[in-house]
Amino acid sequence: MKKTGIYIKAAILLRNGRIIKDDVVIFRSAEKGVLFLNEAYERLAVNYPRFYKMDTLSKMGTVAAAVLLKDSFDPAARQPDEAGIVLSNRNASIEADAQYWEASQEYPSPALFVYTLPNIVIGELSIRYQFKGENAFFVSEAFDAEWLHWYVTDLMTRNLLKTCMCGWLDVFDDQLDACLFLVESDTSETGSTFTAENLKSIYNKNYGK
Amino acid sequence: MENKQELMHRLKEQIIKQLKLNDKKPEDIGDHDPLFVEGLGLDSIDALELIVLLQQEYNIKLKNAEEGQDVFRSVSTMADYILDHQVNS
C-alpha cells in the first residue's frame, strides 16, 4: 500500500511580463502592472464577473490561481473544507491603501476600502473555488520557503487540509511578483515532493528578462 | 433641466463607470431591470457605491438605509428619486 505524501502538483510564476506554469510560458505581454493583468484576464479567458472591481493584488491572485488550477485541480476529489489557502507577501495591500487614501480626499469609496487588507484576495479565491478550509495571509520581508513549508505541512499532517494553494503574491508600484503552488496530500506519488528546497528552487527560477 | 430619458442614460453611464462594469454598455441595462441579484447582479458594496454616486454627482443624501431598497430598484426609480429631490431641493 502506498504511503500518503505531500506533493507540489503544479506551480506558477507571474513576473517580468510572463506567466509560467510548470516551466511552460502560458502568457507574455509588454504591458506592466494592472494592464498586464487585464490583458492576461482577457486572453486567458479567466471569466470572473468581479474581476474589474478588484484591486491589483486580487486581480493577480485571480489570474494566477486560474492558471495554476486549470487542468491540475479536480474539485470533485476534495471536500470544500479540505482545501485551504496560505499566502504571503512583502507589501500587504499598499496599492489599494494608497488608492483609497487618494480617493478619500474627495469621497471615500467603499469598493476601494474593502481591498485595504491583503487577505481579501484569499476571500476572493475561496469564494470562486469553494476552498473553505484553513487560510492565512502572512507579511514578511521576503519569500520564506521554510516557514511556508512548516506551516502547510502542519495543516496537512493534522488532517486539517488535503489541498492547499499557497505561495507569494506581491504588488508594488506596477511590479508584479507571484509564485503559487498547488500542494496536495495523497498517495499518488505524483508531482515533486513538498520540501522547502523545492519551494525555494521554483521561486528562484530565473527565466531571463 | 434634463428629462427623465436623458437622466437615465447618464445614470447608466455613471453606474458602469463607478461600479467598474467593464463588460456592460448603457444599452445593456434596461430602464426597469432590477439592479441587484437577478438583474445587474450588484452586491452590498455596490449599494454603498451607488449612495456615494448620488452624493457625489447629484448632491443628494439618502435619509436612511431602508430608503435605498426602493430608490435603487432600477435605473428608472433612481431617476425618479433624483428628479424629485432636485425639484424639492
Interface confidence, given as ipTM, is 0.79
Instruction: Work out the number of other CB atoms within 10 angstroms of the CB of residue A185.
Output: 21
B69: distance to nearest CA of chain A, Å?
Answer: 18
Largest distance between two CA atoms of chain A: 65
pTM as predicted: 0.91
Nearest Cβ partner of A53 from B20, B52, B56? B20
Give the pLDDT of residue B64. 79
pLDDT tens-place string over residues B4-61: 999 999 999 999 999 999 888 999 999 999 999 777 888 889 999 999 999 999 999 9
CB A40 within 8 A of CB A63: yes
CATH code, B16: 1.10.1200.10
A111 vs B48: CB contact, 8 Å cut-off?
yes
Give me the residues paired with residue A176 across strands: A171
| Contact yes or no for A167/A87 (Cβ under 8 A) | yes
Number of independent structural domains in chain B:
1
Please tell me the predicted confidence (pLDDT) of residue A209.
Answer: 59
CB of B29 within 8 Å of any CB in chain A? Answer: no
Q: How many CB pairs under 8 A join A and B?
A: 26
Contact B56 A107 (CB under 8 A): yes
Whether B49 and A111 lie within 8 Å, measured CB to CB: yes
Q: Do A52 and B23 touch (CB under 8 A)?
A: yes
**B48 and chain A: CB distance < 8 Å anywhere?**
yes
Question: Given pLDDT bands bounded at 50, 70 and 90, which one contains residue A208?
Answer: low
Mean pLDDT of A142-162: 97
A109: chain B residues, CB-CB within 8 Å:
49, 52
Beta strands A192-193 and A175-186, pairing class? unpaired
User: What domain range includes position B20?
Assistant: 4-87
Cα(B76)–Cα(B40) distance, integer angstroms: 14
| Chain A environment of B56 (Cβ under 8 Å) | 106-107
